[in-house]
Amino acid sequence: MSTHQFQAEVNQLLQLIIHSLYSHREIFLRELVSNASDAIDKLRYLSASDEAYKSVAFDPLIRISFDAASGTLTLEDNGIGMNEADLVENLGTIARSGTRRFLSAMAEDKRRDSSLIGQFGVGFYASYMVADTVSVLTRKAGEEAAWLWTSDGKGSYAVEPAARDGHGTTVTLSMNDDGREYLSSWRLEELVRKYSNHVAFAIRLSWEEDEYDDKGKKTGRKKAKDEQVNSAQALWRRNKSELKDEDYVEFYKNVSDSEEAPLLWMHTRAEGTIEYTSLFFVPSKAPFDLYRADYKPGVKLYVRRVFITDDEKELLPPYLRFVRGVIDSEDLPLNVSREILQQNRVMNNIRSASVKKVLSELKDLADRDREKYGAFAEQFNRPLKEGLYSDFGNRETLMELVRFKSTGADGWTSLAEYKSRMKDGQKAIYYVTGDAEERLRKSPLLEMYRKQGVEVLLCFDEIDELVIPMAGKYGDLELKAVNRSGADKEFEGQKDERKEKDLAPALARIKAALGDQVKDVKLSSRLSESPSCIVVDEHDPSMQLQQFMKSIGQSEGIDVKPILEVNGDHPMVSALASEADESRVADVAFVLLDQALIVEGAPLKDPADFVARMNRLIAR
């Protein structure tokens, strides 16, 4: 026998599970059943696809039994099983990187939002909420040796050689006081129906009952009972007409490891040249790993009811990575490898039809239920925007689906709604980019638009900088960034030639004082209250994009200079025309530039210099 220590993260996870999921401790059964079903899936897949396993013929079996007298609950499967190395790897460490990351994020974040833990499969370790000790007797398919793993979940576990008939795994829980309530046939049956009804394999419950005679008296003997307790049907294969909302919700909770009902689902059976069934769900909350490169994909691939993979990021494009569900193909080969999947014609067809389906259902929701779609946008608008640059073929639909905050409406607004509110003669859709909604709402760049009653979209996601210019147009309307030089051309009618002439010398002096800090100094037609603002040249990257590029270490050649625009009606600027003192002109010039940068949320090159100039101006 050898004794091992749990990896530190396992102890951490155990603590977390016990503290945050205790009131849901019944989920331990769902987790064990799901492991058993996965193990059978894996073996079925191997026996169908791998020569070495061709001879393993087996009838899938998941059996739950219990014995109230000894206080034990047993869950047995004849799936793939584990050898000694698998046991150490799987039940002594946390193999899944997503879980590990989650734990370290939790450790750093003192708020410890443990509700998040409900978002992913806590798995095997949930057993320790109901059991004092857990033992795992297991034998791997194709191997002779069997192993017994035991642990009380308090830091260490033991592994020793054992004997087992045939491949598979038997997990035995010695229940603690809180676990004893589950040693009852009706309770277990209830739990299986609640959480595991649509596990594709039969789940049998076996137990012994007191035997009664005709007169209703105990005979003193025991009677063995054995019943199948789930429907054992892949839900997605059933007809929509037979399925109730509750069935979908329950199934979703199973496939997504989530406790919350989904926002939306779409169930499709495609018949014809390519046959497949898909069942997709849109969660009501964004998964915690939505913005992590190592996110866990949410769609499982089956081929003719045989589970193939739940770890394939290419089943749907990355911008739809929040979608959960199942694709079950009739046409793919069982031994489909990752490489094949990526180039396979059948898979490509399924993928593109699935994307179209998801997008059209979302469009439908948007048209039908504004409020619910708003809830969707709150969670998933940002990933959808990624589609604007990665999915050219669906760009038009995506343009209808993405939402914006705006100066012209509360909440989220669509481009179609913006268009319907446009002023007569307005030729473009205006937007401003920046790093925060509140800052944008106060930006001096919007002054003229506000005055003229022209609506501006507020874009404060990092990716807006990349995707909106790339999208370029909505129908025949150009999308114009107001923080770019030239966007105000439409309003040039208001330009005052005489003022331009009067102020030309002042502009020249500001420009001379600022030197190579700016690309140009111009008289602005977009300011009314503020003295200055900065814009970037029509084809230069914006300030935010420059900062973003720097933050990811790509600073080369990115230091583009801004254009300073000044408000000729503002006394700070107009007074310069008659100012004799060159050093005062320089102070004003730098303050005009620096305050415009501050309002933009851009860093100052020399804050001390700004303060000194400011103080000099105030002191006069």
383 touches ligand ADP by CB under 6 A: no
Which amino acid, residue 39? A
Residue 29 vs 91, nearer CB to ligand ADP: 91
Return the structure tokens found at 309. Answer: 């993979």
Nearer to ligand ADP, 275 or 310 (CB): 310
Give the separation between CA 203 and CA 197, rounded to whole angstroms: 9
Does 82 help bind ligand ADP (rule: CB under 6 A)? yes
CB within 8 Å of 346: residues ≥ 6 apart: 274, 329, 331, 332
Residue of 71, 118, 121, 541 that binds ligand ADP (CB under 6 A): 121
Closest CA relative to residue 587, chosen from 609, 562, 563, 565: 609
Q: How far apart are CA 110 and CA 336, in angstroms?
A: 44
Number of residues that bind ligand ADP (CB under 6 A): 17
Question: Is residue 124 within the footprint of ligand ADP (CB under 6 A)?
Answer: yes
- Give least dist CB 316 to ligand ADP, A: 21
Phi first, then psi: give them for residue 101, nearest 5 degrees.
-60, -45
Task: Report the residue number, 83 or 381, with the smaller CB distance to ligand ADP.
Answer: 83
Which of 147/474 has CB closer to ligand ADP?
147
Q: Segment contacting ligand ADP (CB under 6 A): 33-41, 52-60, 200-208, 587-595? A: 33-41
Does 35 help bind ligand ADP (rule: CB under 6 A)?
A: yes
Which residue number has the CB closest to ligand ADP?
A: 123
Does 80 participate in binding ligand ADP (rule CB under 6 A)? yes
Q: Which DSSP helix (H) or strand (E) runs through 48?
A: helix 27-49
Residue 461 burial (10 A CB sphere; 0-12, 13-18, 19+): middle
Q: Which stretch binds ligand ADP (CB under 6 A): 4-12, 122-130, 178-186, 431-439?
A: 122-130
Q: What does the alpha-carbon distance between residue 57 and residue 34 come to, in Å, rounded to a whole number?
A: 21
| 39 lies in the site for ligand ADP, by CB under 6 A | yes
Q: Which of 26, 41, 77, 465 is close enough to bind ligand ADP by CB under 6 A?
A: 77
Contact stretch for ligand ADP (CB under 6 A) within 29-37, 467-475, 502-510, 533-541? 29-37
536 - beta bridge partners? 484
Rounded Cα distance, 261 and 253, in Å? 7
Nearer to ligand ADP, 134 or 527 (CB): 134
Q: Is residue 123 a contact residue for ligand ADP (CB under 6 A)?
A: yes
> Among the candidate windows 16-24, 89-97, 206-214, 398-406, which touches ligand ADP by CB under 6 A?
89-97
Q: Are 203 and 188 in contact (CB under 8 A)?
A: no
Q: Which stretch binds ligand ADP (CB under 6 A): 2-10, 88-96, 324-332, 452-460?
A: 88-96
Contact between 159 and ligand ADP (CB under 6 A)? no
- Please name which of 389, 412, 382 lies closest in space to residue 469, comparing C-alpha atoms: 389
Minimum distance from CB of 25 to ligand ADP (Å)?
A: 15
**Pair 15, 103: CB distance under 8 Å:** no
Specify the stretch interacting with ligand ADP by CB under 6 A; choose among 121-129, 181-189, 551-559, 587-595.
Answer: 121-129
* 171/536 with CB nearer ligand ADP: 171
Tokens of 347: 């898979």
CB 234 within 8 A of CB 252: no
Nearer to ligand ADP, 43 or 365 (CB): 43
Q: Which residues pair with 225 in a beta bridge?
A: 207
How many Cβ atoms sit within 10 Å of the Cβ of residue 139? 24
Q: Which is nearer to ligand ADP, 251 or 412 (CB)?
A: 251
Q: What separation in angstroms does the CA of 431 have from each of 300, 406, 440, 484, 588?
A: 39, 8, 10, 10, 30
Per-residue binder mask for ligand ADP (CB under 6 A), 238-277, x = binder? ----------------------------------------
User: In the block, which residue shows the tokens 């002439």?
Assistant: 501
CB of 354 to ligand ADP, least distance (A): 25
Give the whole-angstrom CA distance, residue 169 versus residue 397: 49
Q: Please report how many Cα atoms fall inside a 13 Å half-sphere around the Cα of residue 123, on the Cβ side.
A: 14
Task: Kindly indicate which of the ranges 74-82, 316-324, 552-560, 606-614 contains the residues binding ligand ADP, using the contact rule CB under 6 A.
Answer: 74-82
Cβ within 8 Å of residue 115, ≥6 positions away: 20
Are 437 and 405 spatial neighbours (Cβ–Cβ below 8 Å)?
yes
The rounded distance, in Å, linking the Cα atoms of 388 and 396 is: 9
Of 124 and 295, CB closest to ligand ADP: 124
- CB hemisphere CA count around 333 (13 angstroms): 11
36 touches ligand ADP by CB under 6 A: yes
Please choose, out of 80-88, 105-113, 185-193, 428-436, the segment that lies near ligand ADP by the rule CB under 6 A. 80-88
Question: 168 or 383: whose CB is closer to ligand ADP?
Answer: 168
Decide if residue 76 touches ligand ADP (CB under 6 A): no
Residue ranges that bind ligand ADP, judged by CB under 6 A: 31, 35-36, 39, 77, 79-82, 90-91, 96, 121, 123-125, 169
